[in-house]
Structure 1
Protein backbone atom coordinates (compact mmCIF):
# COMPACT_ATOMS: atom_id res chain seq x y z
CA UNK A 1 0.00 0.00 0.00
CA UNK A 2 1.31 3.46 -0.91
CA UNK A 3 1.36 6.24 1.73
CA UNK A 4 -1.61 8.63 1.83
CA UNK A 5 -1.83 12.26 2.94
CA UNK A 6 -4.19 15.24 2.82
CA UNK A 7 -2.72 18.28 1.08
CA UNK A 8 -3.31 21.68 -0.49
CA UNK A 9 -1.51 22.09 -3.82
CA UNK A 10 0.81 25.07 -4.30
CA UNK A 11 1.33 27.22 -7.38
CA UNK A 12 4.46 29.38 -7.44
CA UNK A 13 4.77 32.52 -9.52
CA UNK A 14 8.42 31.96 -10.55
CA UNK A 15 9.89 28.70 -9.24
CA UNK A 16 12.67 28.86 -11.87
CA UNK A 17 13.92 32.16 -10.39
CA UNK A 18 14.08 30.71 -6.87
CA UNK A 19 16.02 27.70 -8.15
CA UNK A 20 18.36 29.94 -10.12
CA UNK A 21 18.97 32.27 -7.15
CA UNK A 22 20.03 29.33 -4.96
CA UNK A 23 21.90 27.34 -7.64
CA UNK A 24 25.42 28.12 -6.42
CA UNK A 25 24.58 28.18 -2.73
CA UNK A 26 23.35 24.68 -1.95
CA UNK A 27 23.05 21.13 -3.21
CA UNK A 28 20.06 18.83 -3.11
CA UNK A 29 17.04 17.83 -5.16
CA UNK A 30 14.35 20.40 -5.87
CA UNK A 31 10.79 19.20 -5.48
CA UNK A 32 9.14 18.91 -8.89
CA UNK A 33 6.81 21.87 -9.46
CA UNK A 34 3.76 19.62 -9.89
CA UNK A 35 4.47 18.09 -6.43
CA UNK A 36 4.53 21.36 -4.45
CA UNK A 37 1.98 21.30 -1.62
CA UNK A 38 1.23 21.89 2.06
CA UNK A 39 0.66 18.62 3.91
CA UNK A 40 -2.28 18.96 6.28
CA UNK A 41 -2.21 15.39 7.58
CA UNK A 42 -0.06 12.37 6.87
CA UNK A 43 -1.89 9.05 7.14
CA UNK A 44 0.86 6.78 5.84
CA UNK A 45 -0.43 3.24 5.46
CA UNK A 46 -2.68 3.25 8.54
CA UNK A 47 -5.95 3.64 6.64
CA UNK A 48 -7.39 2.43 3.37
CA UNK A 49 -8.44 4.88 0.69
CA UNK A 50 -12.04 3.83 1.29
CA UNK A 51 -11.84 4.59 5.03
CA UNK A 52 -10.43 8.03 4.35
CA UNK A 53 -12.97 8.84 1.65
CA UNK A 54 -15.76 7.88 4.03
CA UNK A 55 -14.53 9.76 7.12
CA UNK A 56 -12.84 12.88 5.72
CA UNK A 57 -15.66 14.82 3.95
CA UNK A 58 -17.56 15.94 7.08
CA UNK A 59 -14.29 17.04 8.71
CA UNK A 60 -13.21 19.34 5.88
CA UNK A 61 -13.85 22.99 6.73
CA UNK A 62 -13.40 26.01 4.46
CA UNK A 63 -9.82 26.97 3.74
CA UNK A 64 -9.19 30.67 3.11
CA UNK A 65 -7.39 31.80 -0.01
CA UNK A 66 -3.73 31.45 0.83
CA UNK A 67 -0.70 33.29 -0.42
CA UNK A 68 2.84 32.16 0.11
CA UNK A 69 5.50 34.65 1.08
CA UNK A 70 9.01 34.40 2.39
CA UNK A 71 11.42 31.50 2.63
CA UNK A 72 12.61 29.58 5.65
CA UNK A 73 14.99 26.77 6.53
CA UNK A 74 14.40 23.93 8.98
CA UNK A 75 17.97 23.28 10.14
CA UNK A 76 17.20 20.01 11.90
CA UNK A 77 15.61 18.41 8.82
CA UNK A 78 17.62 20.44 6.28
CA UNK A 79 14.55 21.66 4.40
CA UNK A 80 14.30 24.87 2.38
CA UNK A 81 10.64 25.91 2.34
CA UNK A 82 8.12 28.64 1.57
CA UNK A 83 6.16 30.01 4.50
CA UNK A 84 2.41 30.10 4.85
CA UNK A 85 1.04 31.82 7.92
CA UNK A 86 -2.67 31.20 7.67
CA UNK A 87 -5.07 30.90 10.56
CA UNK A 88 -7.34 27.91 10.40
CA UNK A 89 -4.99 25.39 8.82
CA UNK A 90 -3.67 24.23 12.19
CA UNK A 91 -7.17 23.74 13.60
CA UNK A 92 -8.26 21.80 10.48
CA UNK A 93 -5.17 19.59 10.73
CA UNK A 94 -5.68 19.06 14.48
CA UNK A 95 -9.38 18.13 14.07
CA UNK A 96 -8.51 15.52 11.44
CA UNK A 97 -5.59 14.20 13.50
CA UNK A 98 -7.88 13.81 16.50
CA UNK A 99 -10.57 11.98 14.50
CA UNK A 100 -8.01 9.52 13.10
CA UNK A 101 -5.91 9.29 16.31
CA UNK A 102 -2.83 10.51 14.45
CA UNK A 103 0.17 11.34 16.63
CA UNK A 104 0.80 15.05 17.15
CA UNK A 105 4.43 15.08 18.20
CA UNK A 106 5.29 18.57 17.00
CA UNK A 107 3.69 21.90 16.22
CA UNK A 108 1.94 22.11 12.85
CA UNK A 109 3.88 24.59 10.68
CA UNK A 110 2.20 25.08 7.29
CA UNK A 111 4.89 25.20 4.63
CA UNK A 112 5.74 24.14 1.09
CA UNK A 113 8.96 22.10 0.90
CA UNK A 114 11.19 23.22 -1.96
CA UNK A 115 14.26 21.08 -1.29
CA UNK A 116 15.80 18.61 1.11
CA UNK A 117 19.24 20.17 1.32
CA UNK A 118 22.24 17.84 1.12
CA UNK A 119 24.78 20.59 1.68
CA UNK A 120 25.11 24.36 1.77
CA UNK A 121 28.14 25.48 -0.22
CA UNK A 122 28.02 29.15 0.84
CA UNK A 123 26.39 29.56 4.27
CA UNK A 124 26.50 33.37 4.36
CA UNK A 125 25.26 33.66 0.78
CA UNK A 126 22.50 31.17 1.59
CA UNK A 127 21.37 33.15 4.67
CA UNK A 128 21.39 36.40 2.68
CA UNK A 129 19.38 34.85 -0.16
CA UNK A 130 16.76 33.46 2.26
CA UNK A 131 16.56 36.90 3.91
CA UNK A 132 16.15 38.61 0.52
CA UNK A 133 12.86 36.72 0.07
CA UNK A 134 11.52 37.81 3.48
CA UNK A 135 8.38 39.65 2.39
CA UNK A 136 8.20 38.58 -1.25
CA UNK A 137 4.90 37.03 -2.36
CA UNK A 138 5.87 33.78 -4.04
CA UNK A 139 2.67 31.96 -4.92
CA UNK A 140 -0.70 30.72 -3.81
CA UNK A 141 -2.30 27.61 -2.37
CA UNK A 142 -5.42 25.80 -3.53
CA UNK A 143 -8.37 26.15 -1.17
CA UNK A 144 -9.49 22.58 -1.95
CA UNK A 145 -7.88 19.82 0.13
CA UNK A 146 -6.93 16.68 -1.80
CA UNK A 147 -6.31 13.13 -0.71
CA UNK A 148 -2.96 12.27 -2.24
CA UNK A 149 -0.95 9.09 -2.67
CA UNK A 150 2.83 9.02 -2.64
CA UNK A 151 5.02 6.68 -4.64
CA UNK A 152 8.80 6.79 -4.38
CA UNK A 153 10.51 6.19 -7.70
CA UNK A 154 14.25 6.05 -8.16
CA UNK A 155 15.69 7.95 -9.86
CA UNK A 156 13.46 10.99 -9.82
CA UNK A 157 12.05 10.99 -6.31
CA UNK A 158 8.40 10.92 -5.28
CA UNK A 159 5.38 11.02 -7.55
CA UNK A 160 2.13 12.25 -6.01
CA UNK A 161 -1.27 11.28 -7.34
CA UNK A 162 -4.48 13.09 -6.41
CA UNK A 163 -7.14 10.53 -5.51
CA UNK A 164 -9.97 12.86 -4.43
CA UNK A 165 -10.64 16.58 -4.05
CA UNK A 166 -12.91 17.59 -1.18
CA UNK A 167 -15.48 20.32 -1.45
CA UNK A 168 -16.12 22.21 1.75
CA UNK A 169 -18.59 20.89 4.33
CA UNK A 170 -21.52 23.15 5.09
CA UNK A 171 -20.93 25.36 8.11
Structure 2
Protein backbone atom coordinates (compact mmCIF):
# COMPACT_ATOMS: atom_id res chain seq x y z
CA UNK A 1 0.00 0.00 0.00
CA UNK A 2 1.12 3.48 -0.83
CA UNK A 3 -0.48 6.85 -0.09
CA UNK A 4 -0.59 8.81 -3.34
CA UNK A 5 -1.98 11.80 -5.19
CA UNK A 6 -1.65 13.18 -8.69
CA UNK A 7 -0.03 16.59 -8.77
CA UNK A 8 2.68 18.94 -9.96
CA UNK A 9 5.55 20.30 -7.92
CA UNK A 10 5.95 24.08 -8.27
CA UNK A 11 8.64 26.63 -7.54
CA UNK A 12 7.76 29.78 -5.68
CA UNK A 13 9.95 32.69 -4.63
CA UNK A 14 11.93 31.45 -1.60
CA UNK A 15 12.52 34.91 -0.16
CA UNK A 16 8.81 35.82 -0.26
CA UNK A 17 7.83 32.41 1.18
CA UNK A 18 10.21 32.84 4.12
CA UNK A 19 8.81 36.34 4.66
CA UNK A 20 5.27 34.90 4.62
CA UNK A 21 6.18 32.33 7.28
CA UNK A 22 7.76 35.04 9.43
CA UNK A 23 4.80 37.43 9.04
CA UNK A 24 2.23 34.79 9.97
CA UNK A 25 4.42 32.98 12.52
CA UNK A 26 2.88 34.59 15.60
CA UNK A 27 -0.66 34.39 14.21
CA UNK A 28 -0.90 30.71 13.30
CA UNK A 29 -0.37 27.48 15.16
CA UNK A 30 0.01 24.86 12.45
CA UNK A 31 2.39 23.04 10.17
CA UNK A 32 4.14 24.90 7.36
CA UNK A 33 4.84 23.02 4.15
CA UNK A 34 8.55 22.78 3.34
CA UNK A 35 9.48 24.66 0.17
CA UNK A 36 10.41 21.42 -1.62
CA UNK A 37 6.93 19.94 -0.90
CA UNK A 38 4.95 22.76 -2.53
CA UNK A 39 2.66 21.45 -5.24
CA UNK A 40 -0.72 21.66 -6.95
CA UNK A 41 -2.93 18.62 -6.31
CA UNK A 42 -5.10 17.45 -9.19
CA UNK A 43 -6.53 14.38 -7.45
CA UNK A 44 -5.94 12.89 -4.02
CA UNK A 45 -6.12 9.09 -4.13
CA UNK A 46 -5.05 8.07 -0.61
CA UNK A 47 -3.88 4.60 0.43
CA UNK A 48 -4.01 2.19 -2.48
CA UNK A 49 -2.61 -1.19 -3.52
CA UNK A 50 0.38 -1.11 -5.83
CA UNK A 51 -1.33 -2.96 -8.71
CA UNK A 52 -4.00 -0.24 -8.81
CA UNK A 53 -1.28 2.40 -9.02
CA UNK A 54 -0.13 0.79 -12.27
CA UNK A 55 -3.70 1.04 -13.62
CA UNK A 56 -3.78 4.72 -12.66
CA UNK A 57 -0.43 5.26 -14.39
CA UNK A 58 -1.67 3.59 -17.57
CA UNK A 59 -4.91 5.57 -17.45
CA UNK A 60 -3.27 9.00 -17.23
CA UNK A 61 -0.11 8.15 -19.19
CA UNK A 62 -0.79 10.87 -21.83
CA UNK A 63 0.00 13.43 -19.08
CA UNK A 64 2.97 11.74 -17.41
CA UNK A 65 6.61 12.40 -18.29
CA UNK A 66 5.70 15.41 -20.37
CA UNK A 67 6.65 19.03 -20.02
CA UNK A 68 3.27 20.80 -20.23
CA UNK A 69 3.50 24.41 -21.36
CA UNK A 70 1.21 26.92 -19.70
CA UNK A 71 1.23 30.31 -18.06
CA UNK A 72 0.24 30.34 -14.40
CA UNK A 73 0.89 32.88 -11.67
CA UNK A 74 1.01 32.45 -7.91
CA UNK A 75 -0.59 35.53 -6.40
CA UNK A 76 -2.36 36.25 -3.13
CA UNK A 77 -3.52 34.00 -0.31
CA UNK A 78 -6.73 32.16 0.48
CA UNK A 79 -8.13 29.80 3.11
CA UNK A 80 -10.29 26.68 3.23
CA UNK A 81 -13.03 26.09 4.28
CA UNK A 82 -14.01 29.63 5.38
CA UNK A 83 -12.37 32.85 6.53
CA UNK A 84 -14.13 32.52 9.91
CA UNK A 85 -12.80 28.99 10.44
CA UNK A 86 -9.55 28.64 8.47
CA UNK A 87 -7.97 25.17 8.36
CA UNK A 88 -5.79 25.52 5.25
CA UNK A 89 -3.76 28.57 4.21
CA UNK A 90 -2.91 28.50 0.52
CA UNK A 91 -1.33 30.48 -2.28
CA UNK A 92 -3.80 31.24 -5.07
CA UNK A 93 -2.99 30.00 -8.57
CA UNK A 94 -4.09 32.13 -11.52
CA UNK A 95 -4.64 30.05 -14.67
CA UNK A 96 -6.24 32.36 -17.25
CA UNK A 97 -6.06 29.79 -20.06
CA UNK A 98 -7.69 27.02 -17.99
CA UNK A 99 -4.88 24.53 -18.60
CA UNK A 100 -4.93 23.27 -15.00
CA UNK A 101 -8.71 22.76 -15.10
CA UNK A 102 -8.32 20.81 -18.36
CA UNK A 103 -5.66 18.60 -16.77
CA UNK A 104 -7.91 18.04 -13.76
CA UNK A 105 -10.89 17.16 -16.00
CA UNK A 106 -8.81 14.68 -17.97
CA UNK A 107 -7.63 13.00 -14.76
CA UNK A 108 -11.12 12.90 -13.22
CA UNK A 109 -12.73 11.50 -16.38
CA UNK A 110 -9.96 8.96 -17.01
CA UNK A 111 -9.96 7.64 -13.45
CA UNK A 112 -13.76 7.54 -13.39
CA UNK A 113 -13.57 5.02 -16.24
CA UNK A 114 -11.59 2.64 -14.01
CA UNK A 115 -13.83 3.01 -10.96
CA UNK A 116 -12.69 6.13 -9.11
CA UNK A 117 -15.44 8.55 -8.13
CA UNK A 118 -15.27 12.07 -9.50
CA UNK A 119 -14.78 14.88 -7.01
CA UNK A 120 -18.00 16.68 -6.15
CA UNK A 121 -16.27 19.92 -5.16
CA UNK A 122 -15.13 22.18 -7.99
CA UNK A 123 -11.40 22.13 -8.73
CA UNK A 124 -9.65 25.18 -7.25
CA UNK A 125 -5.96 25.18 -8.14
CA UNK A 126 -3.95 26.18 -5.08
CA UNK A 127 -0.71 25.54 -3.19
CA UNK A 128 -1.21 24.55 0.46
CA UNK A 129 1.34 26.32 2.67
CA UNK A 130 -0.04 25.72 6.18
CA UNK A 131 -2.39 23.28 7.87
CA UNK A 132 -3.85 25.51 10.56
CA UNK A 133 -4.66 24.26 14.06
CA UNK A 134 -5.51 27.67 15.51
CA UNK A 135 -5.17 31.37 14.72
CA UNK A 136 -5.40 34.80 16.24
CA UNK A 137 -8.32 35.28 13.87
CA UNK A 138 -8.71 39.07 13.65
CA UNK A 139 -4.98 39.69 13.22
CA UNK A 140 -4.77 36.75 10.81
CA UNK A 141 -7.53 38.21 8.60
CA UNK A 142 -5.84 41.63 8.55
CA UNK A 143 -2.49 40.08 7.58
CA UNK A 144 -4.21 37.99 4.90
CA UNK A 145 -5.57 41.17 3.27
CA UNK A 146 -2.03 42.57 2.99
CA UNK A 147 -1.01 39.57 0.86
CA UNK A 148 -3.84 39.75 -1.70
CA UNK A 149 -1.66 41.29 -4.42
CA UNK A 150 1.67 39.74 -3.47
CA UNK A 151 3.24 37.66 -6.23
CA UNK A 152 4.93 34.41 -5.25
CA UNK A 153 6.16 33.72 -8.78
CA UNK A 154 4.99 32.04 -11.96
CA UNK A 155 5.49 28.89 -14.03
CA UNK A 156 5.72 28.46 -17.80
CA UNK A 157 5.63 24.67 -17.68
CA UNK A 158 4.81 21.85 -15.29
CA UNK A 159 5.09 18.08 -15.07
CA UNK A 160 2.18 15.97 -13.86
CA UNK A 161 3.33 13.18 -11.56
CA UNK A 162 1.96 10.44 -9.38
CA UNK A 163 3.34 11.52 -6.01
CA UNK A 164 3.81 9.38 -2.93
CA UNK A 165 3.14 10.90 0.47
CA UNK A 166 5.39 9.51 3.18
CA UNK A 167 4.49 10.34 6.77
CA UNK A 168 7.56 10.79 8.96
CA UNK A 169 7.88 12.05 12.56
CA UNK A 170 9.15 15.35 11.12
CA UNK A 171 6.12 15.69 8.81
CA UNK A 172 5.04 14.59 5.36
CA UNK A 173 7.56 14.13 2.57
CA UNK A 174 6.36 14.06 -1.03
CA UNK A 175 8.28 12.35 -3.81
CA UNK A 176 7.59 11.46 -7.41
CA UNK A 177 6.67 7.79 -7.49
CA UNK A 178 9.40 5.52 -8.81
CA UNK A 179 7.64 2.79 -10.79
CA UNK A 180 10.73 0.60 -10.50
CA UNK A 181 9.79 0.15 -6.81
CA UNK A 182 6.32 -1.24 -7.65
CA UNK A 183 5.86 -4.95 -8.16
Both proteins in one fold, TM over 0.5: yes
Q: 1:138 to 1:144 in 2, by over 3 A?
A: same
Q: 1:144 to 1:65 in 2, by over 3 A?
A: farther
TM (norm. structure 2) is 0.79
Quote the Cα distance in structure 1 between the aligned partners of 2:86 and 2:160: 25
Quote the Cα distance in structure 2 between the aligned partners of 1:34 and 1:16: 13
**Contact kept in structure 1, 2:56 and 2:111, CA below 8 Å:** no
Quote the Cα distance in structure 1 between the aligned partners of 2:20 and 2:174: 22
In structure 2, runs of 5+ residues without a counterpart are: 179-183
Question: How many residues align structurally?
Answer: 162
Structure 1 equivalent of residue 56 of structure 2: 52
Structure 1 equivalent of residue 129 of structure 2: 114
- The Cα RMSD (Å) is 2.1
1:65 equivalent in alignment to 2:78: no
Question: Greater CA deviation, 48-57 or 132-141?
Answer: 48-57
In structure 1, runs of 5+ residues without a counterpart are: 165-171
State the shift of 1:115 in Å: 0.6
CA offsets 1:124-159 (integer angstroms, 9 cap, x no match):
221111111111111334511122111112x22211
